[in-house]
């Protein structure tokens, strides 16, 4: 009885399942299209996740849907999944080889990846199949120029002009290519013909620039003025005019025209910043025409009030001309507007360091290191700020924290060891100080900053002088004109009794910048005194005492006078 009922149930279920399967089959042919339409709708709305889901379902139901493959490739490109994008485009092209759009997209992907030869190959095949399609030539020319195949680019231009005739676009392209090839006369012929056939402000500008590069200033000015007559709002022509006036030292008209150029928000802010750094500041204009340069800075700032480069430039300018508060305000604003841009933080830190404003540098550096914890250079700025502020223990803690995280092959590691050696010495912990110096010298036993300080501190203790002298000798071999190193070496020679050599190296220390250093003068005087050159010795001691009375040299001088019977 049970078997009979089971067979009946199974038969009924089979019938139901077959019915459902047939119905589903009818619906699937519709749903593939529905999924595609929904995918395109989501793609156009920018909802790539939903678009990918719908288009993938479409492909599962209709594996040969080349259009779905294309849009999935575009979604992959938006995520920088280039391998998947190329694979999908290849499949789409194999399904629909007559669809040139897929191959064009493939060429553009290759171009974006820098696979220029692959991209050129695709364009060549497209042009071979569709020689009258001028759009392909334009994109191919761009690639050929990028890869330095300039003669091939000119050949492609010839084909475009055969198809469509000569126009301003092709002339501009030919001019740019000829200029890259340094075929200046041919480039000038092209642009002159453009000026006759397609007169425009840009063409006049090109002719102006050509003549300016040849120092034909009056002709250049005529073309710049022609450009402005054709288009009074053509800002680059004002820059050309300004430069001609600057070269003629006609500064009244220079400032008049350069301000118009700098005031335009359409001109590249980085180009403006470079102009200030390469032309304006080195030329000394700011010293002679400060009010006018102030106006130039303001024009630039008003045109780009939130640009990182301009805010850094203008902030640094104001600090340089002693408007420190205004400059720091701009640099801090830059940090507030662009908190994730490291360069704006470093610009602020650099200026605070330059100003020796340790009070403000410490919180600024701390904030920066919290945002960029993997940048060990920024952490060191914080350590140095604490150090200069007199917070030696805080500086030590920052350096120790760096050591916990810095890779063992990092080039900054040796400097950390050297700094910790100096800091521990300031704390009076000579054992730790020398231990860190030794660690640094294991990395590089020729590292002058550690060698010099280590040697000098040993000289203060009057111990291990032979070792100290050898370390110091290395520093002057590395840098024979460094006054600090020469002083240390000369002093160690004095301590070891070689007074003649001590005098020689201490004199060199003065020659290379130590004349204004009281300690160097004191050491030199000691060497002279040991050689019984008493008058000279007291002369240098007197100078040293004037430079830095805090050294207490007056007592030593009196004592030495008694010894010498002076």
459-470 pLDDT tens trace: 999 999 999 999
Using a 10 angstrom Cβ sphere, with 0-12 exposed, 13-18 middle and 19 or more buried, the burial of residue 204 is buried
Q: Provide the percentage of residues in the chain whose pLDDT is more than 90.
A: 66
Enter the tokens of residue 561.
């006078």
**Count of CB atoms situated within 10 Å of the CB of 547:** 18
Q: What is the pLDDT of residue 14?
A: 37
Record the tokens describing residue 510, joined without a space.
Answer: 């003065």
- Name the residue among 338, 405, 355 with its Cα closest to residue 378: 405
Distance in angstroms (rounded) separating the CA atoms of residues 162 and 165: 6
> Is residue 456 within 8 Å of 488, Cβ to Cβ?
yes
Average pLDDT of span 217-236: 96
Looking at 145-149, 254-258, 388-392, 519-523, which range is the least confident one?
145-149
Q: Does position 512 have pLDDT exceeding 90, yes or no?
A: yes
Average pLDDT of span 327-355? 96
Query: What was the pLDDT predicted at 139?
Result: 80
Supply the mean pLDDT for the chain: 89
* pLDDT given for residue 11 in this prediction: 41
Residue-wise pLDDT for 417-443, tens only, equals 999 999 999 999 999 999 999 999 999
pLDDT beyond 50 at 6: no
Closest CA to 490 of 461, 456, 457, 516: 456
Q: How far apart are CA 337 and CA 327, in angstroms?
A: 15
- Roughly what angle, to the nearest 10 degrees, separates helices 134-146 and 100-112? 20
DSSP string, 357-411: -HHHHHHHHHHHHHHSTT-HHHHHHHHHHHHHHT-HHHHHHHHHHHHHHS-TT-T
- Closest of 194, 250, 179, 259 to residue 221, by C-alpha: 250
Between helices 100-112 and 116-129, what is the axis angle to 10°?
160
- pLDDT for the residue 1: 37
**Alpha carbons 256 and 265: distance in angstroms, whole number:** 17
Q: Cα 310–311–316 angle (5° rounding)?
A: 100
| pLDDT above 90 (res 280) | yes
**For 59, phi and psi rounded to 5 degrees?**
-70, -35
**443's tokens:** 């990395």
Please report, for residues 452, 456, 482, 491, 545, the alpha-carbon distance to residue 487 in angstroms, rounded to integers and kept in the order given.
Answer: 10, 10, 9, 6, 18
pLDDT bucket at 337, cuts 50 / 70 / 90: very high
Lowest mean pLDDT across 18-27, 120-129, 254-263, 321-330: 18-27
Which pair of structure tokens corresponds to residue 395? 């500086």
Place of tokens 């390469």: 278
Q: Which residue has the higher pLDDT, 459 or 166?
A: 459
What is residue 566's predicted lDDT score, i.e. its pLDDT? 63
d(CA 363, CA 358): 9
Mean pLDDT value of segment 86-92: 90
Would you state the structure tokens that stand for residue 101, as one six-digit string?
Answer: 């759009």
Quick check: 93 and 77 in contact, CB under 8 A? no
* Boundaries of every domain in the chain: 199-247
Q: pLDDT digit string (tens) for 174-205?
A: 888 998 888 888 988 988 988 888 899 999 99
Q: What is the CA radius of gyration of the chain?
A: 38
Confidence of residue 143 (pLDDT cuts 50, 70, 90): confident
Q: How confident is the model at residue 472 (pLDDT cuts 50, 70, 90)?
A: very high
Q: Which residue has the higher pLDDT, 130 or 544?
A: 544
Q: Is the pLDDT of residue 524 over 50?
A: yes
Look at residue 2 in the predicted model and tell me its pLDDT.
37
Confidence of residue 29 (pLDDT cuts 50, 70, 90): very low
d(CA 501, CA 490): 7
């Amino acid at each position: 009885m049970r078997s009979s009922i089971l067979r009946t149930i199974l038969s009924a279920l089979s019938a139901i399942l077959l019915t459902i399967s047939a119905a589903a089959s009818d619906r699937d042919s519709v749903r593939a299209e529905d999924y595609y339409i929904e995918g395109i709708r989501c793609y156009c709305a920018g909802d790539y996740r939903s678009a990918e889901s719908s288009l993938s379902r479409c492909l599962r139901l209709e594996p040969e849907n080349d259009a779905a493959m294309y849009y999935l490739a575009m979604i992959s490109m938006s995520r920088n999944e280039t391998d998947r994008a190329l694979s999908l485009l290849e499949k789409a092209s194999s399904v629909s080889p007559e669809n040139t759009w897929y191959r064009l997209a493939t060429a553009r992907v290759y171009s974006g990846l820098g696979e220029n030869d692959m991209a050129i190959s695709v364009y060549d095949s497209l042009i071979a199949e569709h020689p009258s399609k001028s759009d392909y030539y334009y994109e191919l020319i761009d690639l050929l120029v990028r890869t330095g195949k300039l003669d091939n680019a000119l050949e492609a231009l010839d084909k475009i002009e055969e198809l469509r005739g000569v126009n301003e676009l092709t002339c501009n392209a030919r001019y740019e290519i000829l200029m890259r090839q340094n075929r200046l006369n041919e480039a000038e012929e092209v642009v002159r013909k453009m000026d006759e056939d397609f007169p425009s402000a840009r063409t006049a500008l090109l002719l102006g620039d050509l003549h300016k590069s040849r120092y034909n200033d009056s002709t250049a000015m005529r073309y710049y003025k022609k450009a402005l007559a054709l288009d009074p709002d053509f800002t680059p022509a004002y820059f050309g005019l300004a430069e001609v006036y600057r070269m003629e030292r006609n500064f009244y008209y220079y400032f008049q025209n350069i301000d118009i150029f700098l005031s335009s928000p359409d001109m590249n802010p980085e180009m403006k910043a470079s102009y200030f750094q390469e032309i304006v500041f080195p030329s000394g204009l700011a010293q002679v025409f400060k009010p006018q340069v102030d106006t130039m800075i303001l024009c630039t700032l008003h045109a780009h009030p939130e640009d990182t480069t301009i805010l850094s430039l203008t902030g640094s300018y104001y600090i340089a001309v002693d408007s420190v508060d205004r400059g720091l305000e701009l640099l801090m604003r830059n940090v507030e507007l662009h908190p994730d841009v490291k360069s704006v933080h470093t610009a602020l830190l650099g200026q605070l360091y330059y100003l020796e404003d340790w009070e403000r540098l410490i919180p600024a550096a701390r904030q920066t290191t919290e945002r960029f914890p993997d940048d060990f250079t920024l952490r060191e700025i914080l350590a140095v700020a604490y150090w200069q502020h007199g917070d030696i223990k805080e500086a030590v803690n920052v350096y120790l924290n760096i050591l916990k995280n810095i890779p063992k092959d990092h080039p900054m590691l040796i400097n950390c060891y050297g700094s910790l050696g100096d800091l521990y010495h300031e704390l009076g912990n000579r054992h730790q100080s020398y231990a860190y110096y030794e660690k640094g010298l294991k990395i590089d036993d020729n590292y002058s900053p550690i060698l010099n300080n280590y040697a000098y501190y040993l000289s203060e203790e009057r111990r291990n002088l032979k070792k100290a002298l050898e370390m110091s000798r290395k520093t002057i071999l590395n840098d024979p004109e460094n006054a600090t190193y020469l002083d240390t070496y000369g002093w160690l020679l004095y301590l070891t009794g070689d007074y003649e050599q001590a005098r020689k190296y201490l004199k060199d220390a003065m020659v290379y910048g130590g004349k204004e250093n009281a300690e160097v003068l004191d050491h030199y005087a000691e060497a002279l005194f040991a050689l019984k050159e008493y008058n000279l010795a007291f002369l240098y001691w007197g100078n040293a005492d004037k430079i830095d009375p805090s050294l207490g040299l007056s007592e030593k001088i009196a004592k030495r006078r008694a010894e010498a019977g002076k």
